[in-house]
Amino acid sequence: MNAAGGFSRRGWLLFGAMALLWGVPYLFISIAVESFSPPAIVAGRTLIAALLLLPFALRSGALRAAWRHWPWVLAFGLVEMAGPFLLLGHAEMTLPSGMTGLLVATVPLFAALIALGGGDRGVLRPARSIGLLVGFAGVAIVVAGPGLFGGEVNLWAAGEVLLVAVLYAIAPFIVARKLADVPSLGTITLSLLMIGVLYLPIGILTPHEVPTLPSVAALLALAVICTAVAFLAFFALIREVGPVRAPLFTYVNPVVAIVLGALVLAEPLTPGLLLGFPLIIAGCWFAATGGRLRPRASAVPPAPSP
């Protein structure tokens, strides 16, 4: 961070990297589910990523620190990884990757509601309240849009993705209240390892197609690029620009998801998607920050990992 409080060149590079690293997983998930079952994808993604991060966690002593709080680390893993990774894989068997990425971007809306339930009356400020209404109006248009303008959307799959957003909104509260003194690298590595071991037998036993080269490559990319490398880059971004502004890249993720879905998978840009997209992004921004370019420390939740 430079002296004026803006982003340094390194900060901008990391910001751009994270916008891509956590905008592209929806494309890889969509390709991976063509061959692998959702539980197999969760098992492969988490175990490979855990093995890659394990040497760093051991060398720094972060894993030992995390083990002392293993029940809450497991709880974090269940809410941040086990549930969301499985639900995303199942939802993207029928839902376009771009729409999935956009619906996951509603995390700040649910985080604001959770904060309100916890007694944070700042959510009731006019700008943030309007943001909540606008954001959820955008969700309604995205989900109902295909029915209004022609075509269909799997409402069950859309509901699964919105549940993912709720889980991603809950996870930071576990970290903030129960794991604040535990090194992030230890929490992430141990939780990935726990979830990977939990899902491994399920992934082996669930039926799936003969793996294709694109699906195998997508699974490896999810594990290496979108999980292990992404978390390391995210920690570096937090150190560079601070925990308040680091998660702001999540507002760029849906753009990446929608563009990649359209270009690589030829997913249609429906009127509902085009109309709802700016409403969701604007609503999330105002609900989380009140419209400030430099939000309060409590205003923006930590970024979710898709």
Q: Is the pLDDT of residue 118 over 50?
A: yes
Say if residue 283's pLDDT is above 90.
no
* The pLDDT of residue 148: 47
Cα dihedral: 221, 226, 231, 236 (round 10): 100
Output the pLDDT for position 244: 53
Q: What pLDDT shows up at residue 160?
A: 94
pLDDT tier for residue 275 given thresholds of 50, 70 and 90 = confident
DSSP assignment, residue 153?
A: -
The model's confidence at residue 127, banded by pLDDT at 50, 70 and 90, is confident
Band the pLDDT of 302: cuts 50, 70, 90: low
What is the chain's alpha carbon radius of gyration, rounded to the nearest angstrom?
19
> Does position 91 have pLDDT exceeding 70, yes or no?
yes
- pLDDT for position 4: 44
Q: 120: closest CA among 196, 129, 36, 210?
A: 129
pLDDT, tens digit, 9 for 90 and up, residues 167-189: 988 888 888 889 888 998 999 99
pLDDT above 80 for 229: yes
- Rounded to an integer, the average pLDDT of 246-252 is 70
Give me the helix-helix angle, 70-77 and 184-205, nearest 10°. Answer: 60
At 65, which amino acid appears? A
Residues 173-193: b if buried by 16+ CB within 10 A, e if exposed: bbbeeebeebbbbbbbbbbbb
Distance between CA atoms of 179 and 176, rounded to whole angstroms? 6
Q: In this model, does residue 126 exceed pLDDT 90?
A: no
Higher pLDDT, 302 or 25: 25
Over residues 8-15, mean pLDDT: 83
- The letter for the amino acid at 25 is P
Segment 151-158 shows an average pLDDT of 79
Please report how the helices 25-32 and 97-104 are oriented relative to each other, as an axis angle in degrees rounded to 10.
130
The domain spans of the chain are 9-289
Q: What is the 3-state secondary structure (H, E, C) of 246-274?
A: HHHHHHCHHHHHHHHHHHHCCCCCCHHHH
The rounded mean pLDDT for the chain is 84
Question: What's the rounded mean pLDDT across residues 194-215?
Answer: 92
Q: Is the pLDDT of residue 38 over 60?
A: yes
Average pLDDT of the residues in 222-239: 86
143 or 165, higher pLDDT: 165
Going by the DSSP 8-state scheme, the letter that residue 231 receives in this structure is: H
Residue 297 has pLDDT above 60, yes or no: no
pTM score over 0.85:
no
Confidence of residue 40 (pLDDT cuts 50, 70, 90): very high
